[in-house]
Structures are given as C-alpha cells and as structure tokens.
Amino acid sequence: MARPRSKIDITCQNLKCRYFLKERGKDIVKRGKNRAGHQQYYCNHCHKWFVETANTPLYHKHLSESEIIVICKHLVEKNGIRSIERITGHHRDTIGRLLEDMAEHAEVMNEYLITNLELTPFECDELWSFVKKNKRRLSPAAQLGLKKVMRGFTPA
C-alpha cells in the first residue's frame, strides 16, 4: 500500500501546460533536490521537471538561500557591491546579476523581503533606493520592475 502524498503548495511552472499556475486539478510530485538544495517537482500532466524557485529571482542561482539573504541584508545596509564582495567572498558580477534579477522581479522580491526576511517596508525602500542609484547598469525589464515598487507608481 502506497503512502499518501503530502500537500504540495506549488503549481506547474510550464507555460505550455494547461495547468500552468492552476491549483485545481494539478498533479505534481516531489522528486528530490538539485545541487543548490532546491526541491525538484514533476508535473504528471505535461511531463516536465521544474524546481521550487522557477519564475522567481532565485531561479538559476548557484547560491544557497542563506547566502542570498546575507547579500540582500548587506544591500539593505547600503554597502557597495565591492564591499559586499569582500565581506561574502562572492564575485561582484554574481552580486550584480543578483541585484538585476531582484530589480526585474521587484514586486515578488519585495514581498519575499518583507515576509521571509522580516524587513520593514522602510528597509525595503532603502534597498530599492540603492538599486535605483545604480539603475544605469540595469536592463529595461529591470528598470520597469524597479518602477513598480518605487513610490509614486500607479498601475495602468
């Protein structure tokens, strides 16, 4: 007799699947962890694998969640990218890419910072002001994401 499945809070991340981001009727199974320690899932409808970080700023990052949290906390404290490089031992390009991915997924990242890291909205504003200061290096998608979380944004 097979043991019952545990409750899975994630939905299919495949754009072509008819159950993409749908809770009803999903058939997703946990299938181990990858090298970065992220849970892997398998959709029995579209037969695709994905990880828990798909469609998030943490996707395709070889850093652990705790390392990303440390980098975010240093960014909130307005440390420069090179000083964060010296403190954490990660290359400045890695920190810069993380910063750009955070700006592209600004709304999701803002919610993550407030709920998981227990930062105040004021501390998040400090982080986004630091990112805005360096926005000349950001892609157009990142600049659009940044506008969404800065004060004065009104959705169309």
Q: Tell me the pTM.
A: 0.57
The pLDDT tens digits of the residues spanning 89-117 come to 999 999 988 888 887 777 777 777 788 77
The pLDDT tens digits of the residues spanning 42-79 come to 999 999 988 877 777 677 778 887 898 899 889 878 88
Q: Which residues of 53-90 are buried (b: 16+ CB within 10 A; e: fewer)?
A: bbeebbeebebeeebbebbbbbbbeebebeebbeebeb
Please answer whether residues 57 and 109 qualify as being in contact, where contact means their C-beta atoms are separated by less than 8 angstroms.
yes
Q: Nearest-CA neighbor of 149 among 104, 83, 101, 100?
A: 104
Q: Give the N- to C-terminal CA distance of the chain in Å, as an integer.
A: 54
Q: How confident is the model at residue 152 (pLDDT cuts 50, 70, 90)?
A: low
